[in-house]
C-alpha cells in the first residue's frame, strides 16, 4: 500500500514511449474493393433542380388546397325527410301523368 503513488506514476508513464500501432497492409485493398462494389456514386442535385422540385411541390399543394376549398363551398344544403320522399317520387313516377286512357 505504501507504493501506491509509485504504481500510479509508473502506470501513467507506461505509455511515454508508445509506438503507433500499424494498420493492416491489406486494408487499402479492402477499402478500394468496398468503394468499387458497395458504394454507388454519390448523387448531387443542383440548386436549380432543388428549387424546381420545391416549386412543383408548392404548386401541387396549393392546387390541392384550392380544390378542397371549392368542393366545400359546393356542398348542397341538407334536405328534410319529406322533401327527400317527394324527390324520390318525382324521379320514379313524375308529377304529370303522360298516359292517355281515352281510347
Partner 1 sequence: MNQQELIQQLIQGNESAYRACFNLFSDRVHNTALSILQNQQDAEDITQEVFIEVYRSIKSFRQEASLQTWIYTITTNKCNDHLKKQRSKKRFAFLTSIFGDDDALQHDKPHFDHPGVLLENKEHARVLFFALNKLPDKQKMAFTLSRIEGLSNKEAAAAMQTSVSAFESLLHRANENLKTTLSDYYKNNLQDGASFYKTFLLMLY
User: Which string of x and - marks every residue 37-56 that binds partner 1 (by CB under 8 A)?
Assistant: --x--x--------------
* 19 vs 97 by CB, closer to partner 1: 19
Close Cβ partners of 45 (under 8 Å, ≥ 6 residues apart): 53
* 27 vs 88 by CB, closer to partner 1: 27
Asked if 82 and 90 count as a contact pair (C-beta separation under 8 A), the reply is no
With CA atoms as reference, report the closest residue to 62 among 54, 73, 50.
54
Computed from CA positions of residues 23, 26, 27, 29, in that sequence, does the dihedral angle turn out positive or negative? Answer: positive
| Site residues (CB under 8 A) for partner 1, limited to 53-92 | none
Quote the cell numbers at residue 78. 341538407
| Candidate ranges 26-34, 47-55, 66-74, 76-84; the one touching partner 1 (CB under 8 A) | 26-34
Residue 48 CB, shortest distance to partner 1, in Å, is: 19
Asked if 63 and 55 count as a contact pair (C-beta separation under 8 A), the reply is no
Residues that bind partner 1 (CB under 8 A): 1, 4, 7-8, 10-15, 17-24, 27-28, 30-32, 34-35, 39, 42
Amino acid at each position: 500500500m505504501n507504493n501506491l503513488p509509485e504504481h500510479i506514476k509508473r502506470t501513467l508513464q507506461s505509455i511515454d514511449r508508445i509506438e503507433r500501432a500499424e494498420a493492416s497492409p491489406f486494408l487499402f485493398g479492402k477499402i478500394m474493393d468496398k468503394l468499387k462494389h458497395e458504394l454507388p456514386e454519390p448523387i448531387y442535385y443542383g440548386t436549380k433542380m432543388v428549387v424546381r422540385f420545391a416549386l412543383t411541390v408548392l404548386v401541387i399543394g396549393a392546387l390541392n388546397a384550392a380544390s378542397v376549398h371549392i368542393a366545400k363551398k359546393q356542398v348542397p344544403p341538407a334536405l328534410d325527410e319529406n322533401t327527400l320522399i317527394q324527390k324520390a317520387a318525382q324521379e320514379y313516377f313524375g308529377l304529370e301523368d303522360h298516359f292517355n286512357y281515352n281510347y
